[in-house]
A = this chain, B = another copy of it.
Amino acid sequence: MSLLVVGSIALDDVTTRHGRKSGVLGGSCSYFSLAASNFTDVRMVGVVGEDFPEEYVRLFEDRGIDLTGLERRSGKTFFWRGEYTEDFSSRTSLQTDLNVFAEFDPQLPESYTNSDFVFLANIHPQLQLRVLEQCSPKFVAADTMKLWIDTELDALKEVISRVNLVTVNDLEVRLISGEDNLVRGVKKILDMGPDYVILKKGEHGAMLVGSDVEFFAPAVPLDDFRDPTGAGDTFAGGFMGHLASRGGNNPTLMKSAMFYGTIMASFTVEDFSVERLIQATERDIMNRYQRLLRLTQL
């Protein structure tokens, strides 16, 4: 079934203990759509500037990603420069130039309005709501971040009440719910309306909680780890891509989707930007699925 993603497309400048990469592809939309394109057809809504390299456009096209909703504006593409600490426990944003993304106002092309699965990546909650007004999907997931919890909590709560799934990290659970304990915090978010919450714990895995399912997926153990940027959006891409490819969201599908999300994220963090992610073959994905089975099944 059709899968729509609305989010950011960026040019990143990232420094980690393994080096620095400048002008590389970033943004939630990019990671999500490239990950999801391994499973299903993806429709993208986003905006780029005149400086956006043609090679990245071709990368999306080669993956069969529908770019009807990709707006090209005069001006520069959203730019982010950041640096991770030695142990990857935190990162500092050194420069954030919204550029053309500052006036992003997502318009769904007519051909996108029948999308069955929708991922609202981390953008202003009012924009997330505007997307929902333009379609009637079967299943919607939304991501968010601390900035919107701090500044747009009412709009964010409206989003949370209107989607099927919310993806959050531990800090976001605590801030949204006011609960220190994550189990109680996730329950409070479920009480706000969504059917499911995915708690993203980075190297410690991810947990899906809903009324009919509770499932934990450990991260794939990696002996190389270079850049965590985009891991969460990649996870969402693998997760939603699998659901959309199967056209449903029953507990069994949601569990295997947790594994596919985990697997796609494991590729992303092995190198900068989308470098390793776009090299992942179907065989690579299946090998890591088998690895997760061995790691978790009795």
A101 vs chain B, min Cβ distance (A): 35
Question: Inside 8 A of A295's CB, which chain B residues have their CB?
Answer: 214-216
Question: Inside 8 A of A183's CB, which chain B residues have their CB?
Answer: 221-223
Question: Inside 8 A of A216's CB, which chain B residues have their CB?
Answer: 218, 295-296
A7 vs chain B, min Cβ distance (A): 28
Residue of B nearest to A180 (CB): B87
Q: Majority SS of interface residues in chain A?
A: mixed
A174 vs chain B, min Cβ distance (A): 10
**Contact sample, A vs B, 6 pairs, CB 8 Å cutoff:** A181-B223, A181-B224, A181-B225, A216-B296, A218-B218, A293-B298
Q: Other CB < 8 Å A-B pairs besides A181-B222, A201-B204, A297-B298, 5 of them?
A: A183-B222, A215-B296, A218-B218, A252-B298, A297-B297
Say if the beta carbon of A184 comes within 8 Å of chain B. yes
Residue of B nearest to A204 (CB): B204
Give Cα A196–Cα B99 distance, bound, in whole angstroms. Answer: 53
Say if the beta carbon of A145 comes within 8 Å of chain B. no
Q: Interface code A167-179, partner B: CB below 8 Å = 1, 0 otherwise?
A: 0000000000000
Give Cα A295–Cα B297 distance, bound, in whole angstroms. Answer: 11
Say if the beta carbon of A2 comes within 8 Å of chain B. no
Q: Which of A283-298 contact B (CB under 8 A)?
A: 293-298
Question: Inside 8 A of A297's CB, which chain B residues have their CB?
Answer: 296-298
Residue of B nearest to A215 (CB): B295
Give Cα A47–Cα B201 distance, bound, in whole angstroms. Answer: 41
